[in-house]
Chain A
Amino acid sequence: MLPSDSVVLLSRWQFGLTALYHFLFVPLTLGLSNLLGIMETVYFITRRPIWRTMTQYWGLLFGINVAMGVATGITLEFQFGTNWAYYSQYVGDIFGAPLAIEGLMAFFLESTFIGLFFFGWDRLSRGAHLIVTWLLALGSSFSALWILIANGWMQHPTGAFFNFHTMRMELSNFYEVIFNPVAQAKFVHTISAGYVTGSMFVLSISAYFLLRNRNVAFAKRSMMVAAAFGLASALSVVVLGDESGYLADLNQKMKIAAIEGQWETEPAPAPLTLIGWPDEKLHATRYAVKVPYVLGLIATRSLHTPVYGIFDLVDDARNRIKDGVVAYTALLALQKNPNDKAAEMVLSVHQENLGYGLLLKRYTSDVAHATPELIEKAAWDTVPKVGVLFWAFRVMAGLGFFFILLFGTAYYFTIRRGATKRRWFLWVAFLSLPLPWLACEVGWVVAEFGRQPWVVEGELPTFLAASTLAVQDLWISIGGFVFFYSLLAVIEIFLMVKYIRLGPEALFKPKDFGLNKVEPPLKSSLSYY
């Protein structure tokens, strides 16, 4: 029995909401853990106690954030099983491995050392504590690596094949899964985005202190670290984002076409649509302002390869669906008789389009005899929501360039020691605080919404992947998530704002910050639960 359309839709909403919510905390964890490592390294080398105060204060805010990151991350791992049971069973042989290795290699490291980061100041030597902090940062980055290897495989499934005996996909080459170019580009793009978020957090809150003219020595140093690290990361985000675009064109041409609102195939070298109004009913993008050559260069790295438009890609999908029907028919024969060598031969030839054949299951249980009308409908199902992708991408990319500008300016001002005098800049830095989160969230919308209708690109349609649950089950669980997550969000923001306003004084008296080269106490009122 297949899950109903409403169950699929609600399951998607639940996963989408909980994943986007989780990712409010992840980028800050990624960025801040590395910034803590940098600050503590400076403390270790220079022995200036103010750098320990910085590590501990930013660590306090890190702790408030990371609790939510941990709490909301487990939800996602569990949801593959609870709400996407068929997905888990269909691709668990491949997809489960990076998740399990993430636990073995990364999450254990991060979770074990986070306790010592907070509780170890008075129990460890300076060097040992520094190592603990870096292991914590390393754990969070490794975690991102394995999760993005798993996600990269959903975007670009390599190293696997369909086995009709077990009715699932199975691993053939783990090397290809790990060194999947899409996964590698996504990893660097995503952790760089996390580093930008962490840097913006430190930059904005330092700007807040400077605007209020308090903790100046503390804020200036923090701002310096954030500006340098942020600039490098912002450059890396954009460069690797470009790499992602190039790689997406290799196997997710539809995603690129939707992002560009490009309905007709553009002759090489294709122009980039800077802005416009995609109209999904008319199948056209109106008022488009185009920059010649640029898209061709980004997407194909050549002046001679065309970038395909949606119409041509739908034509292609239609052919692949027809081919998928052949594969599916052979699969049915094999289910009746696993020794049917002729059918096995047919399946192996047409296997790469089996997933396209499965798209028809949304409309008919008799895939083998699908009418041309149904095939046409299924072919158009391969087009994601063009308007959403078009705008989400432009918001993300626009913000990416803004971050380079902002951190570039911040870097220039901090090396010229002029940042504190320019209140307009401090205001801009302070008000930009929410922007990296916005960029990260719309980035995931581009990546995951752009993958629709597939849960595994070209292999498994999303509507087949959901668990067969009842609609009211989904309403109850979504209601529960919305209620508890909203409550936790209010509490988290309340605590975060409270401790930002208190500033490093939450830990020590200002005379103890360590400016006079006097070591502040190793413990504070917040050293215990």
Chain B
Amino acid sequence: MLDLECLRLIWWVLFGVLFIGFAVTDGFDLGIAALLPFVAKNDLERRVVLNTIGPVWEGNQVWIILAAGAIFAAWPLVYAVAFSGLYFVILLLLLTMGISRPVSFKYRSKLKNPVWRFCWDAAVFIGGLVPALIFGLLVGNVLQGLPFRYDEQIRLSYEGGFWALFNPFACWCALTSLFMLIMHGGIYLALKTEALLANRALRFSKGAAILFMLFFAGGGLWAAYAIVGYEVTSVLSPEGYSNPLHKEVVKRLGAWLLNYSRYPFTLAAPVLGFLGAAAAMLSVQGKALKTAFLCSALSLFGVISTVGVSMFPFIIPSSLDPASSLLVWDASSTQLTLFLMLIAALIFVPLIVLYTAWVYYVLRDKVTAKEIKENI
């Protein structure tokens, strides 16, 4: 069996892998859904747009369900703090993405009534827009720390309100995430549709990419020079028990930059975030859409890695009682659980990637207005 330190590090990486898997796959579903009312002008066009993601969104969404399950299994303390502390944001995510979106896709075209279809289209749009914003909002708040603490029996209490989450920095991050996913979604939509829709999608994608790069740069500077970061000041055993009360933590401006000076290679993450987006746009200009999609995916990879690297070893810092912060080293499951879950992941993740790739291969054709018209 691998040692606990190693397993914790692996599961921290896998945590990121699952979110990246989600962002790269379901991210384009969310982006396309948020674009729906803007790129599609009539019912037929809306159906074309919906059918580009219709057969695949459900599998894509499992990445986030799996990510939640993996946090539960590998980081139970993180799961408990994040989900109960951010109660209404999680419920909003659940309502828009988890509850109304699946039903919207399946029920929308089962009736011809335009009011019926309008309502479901609205639900699809909200189910794309709101989650895309929420993911950024969550990152923005976690970077600033959440107001929770543990008592000596490790019983959790969360002492913050719902509206406090909508602070300026978090809202900035929310917009960054939205622009990023619209960039990504626009490219996928263009890949799957014919000229007219594709061109419209690309116009939005390009605009979003520029905004995304500006917001990402601004957010980076903001986090580096105006957001108070966290730093562990006591010696901590990476093999220790998962008890978050055995360390000292201070808040310090610039603490989120420490890892970049300590390990300069990690600068690759934010650089990739930018270069990916820029390269995606150049590829769009050169009509190389598949390359553009790949570059956009790399940009998402870079952005999510940037958040992880900046905060390491913190997973959720506590703004109320910094010593209660959750670290990679003190918030995990046991060695046995992490090891068994790793085995399961090593068996199933490659299988998942394999059969998902096959499904995409089967569904590789563009969705055309003609084929939908023929089957009305």
Contact = CB atoms under 8 A, between A and B. Distances in A.
Interface of A: 1-2, 63-64, 66-68, 70-72, 74-75, 77-78, 80-83, 85-86, 88-89, 91-97, 99-105, 107-109, 111-116, 118-120, 123-124, 163, 165-168, 170-172, 174, 335, 467-469, 473, 476-477, 480, 484, 488, 491-492, 495, 498-499, 523-529
Contact of B47 (A124, A174, A524, A529): A529
B102 A71 contact: yes
Contact of A172 (B336, B359, B362): B336
B337 A171 contact: yes
Contacts of B242: 166, 168
Interface of B: 47, 50-51, 54-59, 61-62, 65-66, 68-70, 72-74, 76-77, 79-84, 87-88, 90-91, 94-95, 98-103, 105-111, 151-158, 241-243, 333-334, 336-337, 340-341, 344-345, 348-349, 352, 355-356, 359, 362-363, 371-372, 375-376
B55 to A, nearest CB: 3
B16 to A, nearest CB: 16
Contact of B68 (A64, A77, A492, A523): A77
Tell me the dominant secondary structure on chain A's binding face: helix
Contacts of B51: 528-529
B146 to A, nearest CB: 13
Nearest to A70: B102
Nearest to B67: A103
Q: Which of A72, A108, A116 has the most chain B CB within a 10 Å cutoff?
A: A108
Nearest to B90: A82
Contact of B62 (A1, A99, A107, A528): A107
Contacts of B362: 116, 120, 123-124
Given A80-B72, A88-B79, A171 B336 contact: yes
B337 A97 contact: yes
Shortest Cβ-Cβ A-B pairs, 6 listed: A92-B76, A81-B83, A96-B73, A115-B55, A112-B59, A85-B84
B65 A529 contact: no
Given A97-B340, A167-B243, A86 B375 contact: no
Given A115-B359, A166-B154, A81 B90 contact: yes
Contacts of A528: 47, 51, 54, 109, 371-372, 375
B109 to A, nearest CB: 5
Given A71-B103, A116-B55, A124-B362, A101 B344 contact: yes
Nearest to A80: B72
A25 to B, nearest CB: 11
Contact of B90 (A78, A111, A492): A78
A74 B242 CA distance: 27
Given A81-B72, A89-B76, A468-B155, 18 more contacts: A64-B110, A81-B90, A86-B155, A88-B76, A93-B76, A96-B69, A101-B341, A107-B62, A107-B65, A108-B352, A112-B58, A115-B55, A115-B363, A116-B359, A116-B362, A168-B242, A525-B376, A526-B109
Contacts of B91: 78, 82, 477, 480
Contacts of B56: 115
Contacts of A123: 362-363
Contacts of A468: 84, 155-158
A284 B155 CA distance: 40
B224 to A, nearest CB: 31
A104 B349 contact: yes
Contacts of B54: 115, 119, 528-529
Nearest to B333: A93
A167 B243 CA distance: 8
A66 B98 CA distance: 13
B70 A67 contact: no
Contacts of B69: 77, 96, 99-100, 102-103
Given A77-B69, A477-B91, A480-B91, A524 B375 contact: yes
B84 A82 contact: yes
A112 B79 contact: no
Given A115-B54, A469-B84, A86 B100 contact: no
B95 A484 contact: yes
B58 A78 contact: no
B153 to A, nearest CB: 6
19 contacts: A64-B106, A68-B102, A74-B98, A80-B72, A86-B80, A88-B83, A89-B156, A92-B73, A92-B79, A92-B333, A94-B337, A101-B348, A103-B69, A104-B66, A111-B61, A167-B154, A174-B337, A469-B84, A523-B375
A145 B343 CA distance: 19
B107 A491 contact: yes
A93 B71 CA distance: 10
B95 A480 contact: yes
Nearest to B156: A85
User: Which one of B90, B107, B108, B109 has the highest number of Cβ atoms from chain A below 10 Å of its Cβ?
Assistant: B107
